[in-house]
Structure 1
Amino acid sequence: MESLHMALSILVPLFFLAFAIFKKSQPASSKLPRSYPIFGSFFTFWKNKERFAQWTADLVLASPNLTCPIDLGFGRKVVATANVDNVRHILKSNFQNYGKGPFIRSTFKDFLGDGILNVDGESWKFQRQLSIQAFNTRSLRKFVEDVVDSELSDRLLPILKKAASERTVLDFQDILQRFAFDNICMIAFGYDPQYLLPSLPETKFAVAFENSTRDSRERVNSIAPIFWKIKRALNIGSEKQLEIAVREVRDFAKELVSGKKRELQAEKSLHSVDLLSRFLSSGHSDENFGVDIVINFILAGRDTTSAALTWFFWLLSSHPEVENQILKETKQKAEETSYDEVKNMVYTHAALCETMRLYPPVATDTKSAMSDDVLPDGTVMKKGMRVTYHPYAMGRVEKLWGADWAEFRPVRWLERKEEAGKWSFVNRDSYSYPVFQAGPRICLGKDMAFLQMKAVVAGVMQQFKVVPVAGPEPVYVTVITAKMKGGFPVRIEERAQFGS
């Protein structure tokens, strides 16, 4: 404790001295943020922490090679890049040299443990292989279809119908997050948290999970790891809140894992098809391992699809020509929500990809260099340096998307087939469009995500029109995944007939 007080007595005055200098300084003339001894560009970073994606995208896009070094202070140097060759190098060509690294692992260790999203090396390979085996089964795919269909027909659509009849305003972002949370909990470990009920309950597990996500992200915003570590040692502020939230999440997950193990032992065979059952039935019954699996899969699948759908419905409201095209397609594909059938929803697929180009669910992702390296554009990476590839910025690169990159145009993903009126989808290189990552760590749940999103689009649009409440343009903010700041208030209108 004495050493903690000593550290505080040195760092706090230093912090305020540097801040005073920063306040008196004139803005830098270049796009690069002003850097100070010891503190680097931390104060500019702090000023822009709620618009981190936009701030760093401006820096990257202003650079001739789409790569920008940023000094965050206290020896923390980050290279941000939207250079396709760099992204391919990091995610594929020199994949073994770029992992989560000690900064990310320690920052999220309390929450994510040693789960697949927070580990490298052999532990990651092992979990990845188990995940591949689990995802590549017809039974899981059928289970996912059933879960999505049930949540859609029994919960989401009735809530929208009630809102339409009563002319109430809904936070559609919250509704979609609840929908996704119920879905991923059922798919991950066969548990229904009943988060999307007409009463919109504050389910303890869901709230604790949200708090854990938010407070873990606060560690990233800290001026240096020592600050949040001091707060954790003293059990104060956001660290105290994080400790409480993580304990609730992990205790609840332990109960689920223990219950699932008892269920599987009693059955003596695998009847459950959720992901946790598959992992435990593969002979890996360690409780902590099971808890980490649960938490990591929920984080991976909870807010990504809901974030994409939130921005999709907002964009649709100001692009009636796109809405009409999707209405025609969903009418043709009514009642089709299986993996094979939704593949034919080509225009809808393009509109979702275009949405995620402009508003990716994960704006940036950071890796750490395991040894010295040089990126293809000549940027020198020293061992321990972090590099952030930037899907948000990459969706705004004119060289990749054309002079009309700022426009919402699903047809940029399509080309006409020889048959009149038929579209075919044109895939983009995953290193130019790393919304689902790329290379060995590419998202295994990509197909599952598109199934869920297309099912929601078809189910909602066949019956309802989502009308945003008038107000300023929504703000894109990032926690771990991206959100619409302040929610997405809408009114729901029933469609009198298809296409209205």
Structure 2
Amino acid sequence: MFGNRHQIITANPANVQHILKTHFDNYHKGRIFITRLYDFLGDGIFNVDGESWKFQRQVSSHEFNTKSLRKFVRTVVDTELHDRLIPIFSGAATSGETVLDLQDVLQRFAFDNVCKISFGFDPACLLPSLPEAEFAVAFEDAAKLSSQRFRTPAWKIMRFFNVGSEKRLKIAVSQVHEFARKIVREKKQELAEKSSLESVDLLSRFLSSGHSDENFVTDIVISFILAGRDTTSAALTWFFWLLHKHPRVEKEILKEIKQKSDVAVFEEVKDMIYTHASLCECMRLYPPVPVDSKLAMNDDIWPDGTVVKKGTIVTYHPYAMGRMEEIWGSDWAEFKPERWLERDEGGKWRFVGRDPYSYPAFQAGPRICLGKEMAFLQMKTVVAGVLNRFKVVPAVEDGFEPKFLGYLTSKMQGGFPVRIEERGELNLD
């Protein structure tokens, strides 16, 4: 049961395809989810159904597919990597004793990137002092407290009396929206004074294309920040943990990196096939979004014969699906990038994608993640830039196993303490 509603959880790829594609129109976000996230996300693309979603998806899809945005994203990510992330790692390596929370560092890296891409605003979370940026703190509080509503039956009463977590949520949401609207107004003013904006962030693009409603652009950009803030950092956090446990895979990735003359060049990062497969394999075991739910709008029957009544919460489970022998075989528990690869006639690796309904790490169907390619670009750029110079060593006791926390996005409980070592010359034969 989900509150007073029935809930059905599935890990069957045929059912997932039925929900996300074949009968897409029957499975909505639904009021139970929209109302819990509305104060934070408003009518943004990730919190709406029907015509509003279709319109936002169409507008966003057009912008995401432009070459100029992809070039802007590459520039933002490269700058954040070389000007901030690598100097922090270099300082930690020089010290030798410095322990970094890699999860926190990667979240800061991702937050800086996604804010610059979405708003054209730099929150500067990844400065050497690792500052408590006001907007970043408010955003984190708003996301965390909004997700707590799913586990707090009395949240509406608490909101009415403005007490406890609901009082804190109200303050955090107010700070996020106030800040976002301030940026929107400044961008609109800049646009009014110029024939076109020089900036190519998403907000500027929406405003330049005639979408000037303040609430519309504020809600949609906040949704994009939420989507890009924790997903890539979550995947990378678990990725570096898995590399530590599997030095064979790290060695293969290093071979691939050494073949590239300049990891900042997009074409070369894009062609890192083994690294791409390793990231996919990581997200199979530790998906950034571990579960996702919809509301059945009408009675239905799934391919496996499950009867679904109108008003039922249906949940598909990427975390469970990534660990099923029926989907991945008897070696499902192994971290094995090769399951995503095959050799071509020349003996080179070729990536072999999986059915998105067996591997819904980026959702699938009409709502498939718009930022999927940008996410891979960011992750591969980080992997190449970091591993080329440093070795990431967990600062944990022998036998330590991190705990996976699944909220709106996945986390490593308590963070991920690491030491950074300069990488010397390697024999990769």
* Structure-2-length-normalised TM-score: 0.97
1:476 is aligned to 2:398? no
- 1:350 maps to which residue? 277
Q: Which amino acid aligns with 1:108?
A: L
Higher relative contact order (CA 8 A, sep 6+): 2
Following superposition, the deviation at residue 271 of structure 1 comes to 2.1
Q: Secondary structure in 2 aligned to 1:195? A: coil
Asked if 1 retains the 8 angstrom alpha-carbon contact of 2:281 and 2:336, the reply is yes
Q: Secondary structure in 1 aligned to 2:421? A: strand
CA distance in 1, matches of 2:358, 2:313: 20
Asked if 2 retains the 8 angstrom alpha-carbon contact of 1:182 and 1:195, the reply is yes
Asked if 1 retains the 8 angstrom alpha-carbon contact of 2:262 and 2:268, the reply is no
CA distance in 1, matches of 2:350, 2:388: 23
Following superposition, the deviation at residue 338 of structure 1 comes to 4.5
Asked if 1 retains the 8 angstrom alpha-carbon contact of 2:2 and 2:313, the reply is no
- 1:460 maps to which residue? 386
Runs of 5+ unmatched residues, structure 2? none
- 2:366 maps to which residue? 440
Q: Which amino acid aligns with 1:199?
A: S
Which piece of structure 1 moves more, 288-297 or 249-258? 288-297
Asked if 2 retains the 8 angstrom alpha-carbon contact of 1:476 and 1:482, the reply is yes
Asked if 1 retains the 8 angstrom alpha-carbon contact of 2:235 and 2:283, the reply is yes
Following superposition, the deviation at residue 331 of structure 1 comes to 1.1
* 1:391 alignment partner, one of 318, 322, 339: 318
Asked if 2 retains the 8 angstrom alpha-carbon contact of 1:338 and 1:451, the reply is no
- 2:422 maps to which residue? 494
CA distance in 2, matches of 1:387, 1:160: 43
- 1:270 maps to which residue? 197
Asked if 2 retains the 8 angstrom alpha-carbon contact of 1:327 and 1:498, the reply is no
Asked if 1 retains the 8 angstrom alpha-carbon contact of 2:273 and 2:350, the reply is yes
5 Å matches for 1:83-232? Answer: 83-167=12-96, 168-222=98-152, 224=153, 227-232=154-159
- 1:81 maps to which residue? 10
Asked if 1 retains the 8 angstrom alpha-carbon contact of 2:10 and 2:315, the reply is yes
Following superposition, the deviation at residue 149 of structure 1 comes to 0.5
Runs of 5+ unmatched residues, structure 1? 1-70
* Structure 1 pair 102–338 and aligned structure 2 pair: CA distance change class (3 A): farther
Following superposition, the deviation at residue 318 of structure 1 comes to 1.0
Q: Secondary structure in 2 aligned to 1:288? A: helix
Q: Could you list the runs of 4 or more consecutive aligned residues of structure 1 that deviate by over 4 angstroms after TM superposition?
A: none
CA distance in 2, matches of 1:214, 1:498: 42
CA distance in 2, matches of 1:158, 1:343: 24
Q: Which amino acid aligns with 1:494?
A: E
Following superposition, the deviation at residue 499 of structure 1 comes to 5.4
- 2:233 maps to which residue? 306
5 Å matches for 1:48-87? Answer: 71-73=1-3, 75-87=4-16
Following superposition, the deviation at residue 336 of structure 1 comes to 3.4
Count of paired positions: 425
Asked if 2 retains the 8 angstrom alpha-carbon contact of 1:468 and 1:489, the reply is yes
Q: CA RMSD in A?
A: 1.1
Q: Secondary structure in 1 aligned to 2:357? A: coil
- 1:35 maps to which residue? none
* Structure-1-length-normalised TM-score: 0.84
CA distance in 1, matches of 2:2, 2:56: 33
Following superposition, the deviation at residue 78 of structure 1 comes to 1.1
Asked if 2 retains the 8 angstrom alpha-carbon contact of 1:358 and 1:396, the reply is yes
CA distance in 1, matches of 2:306, 2:208: 46
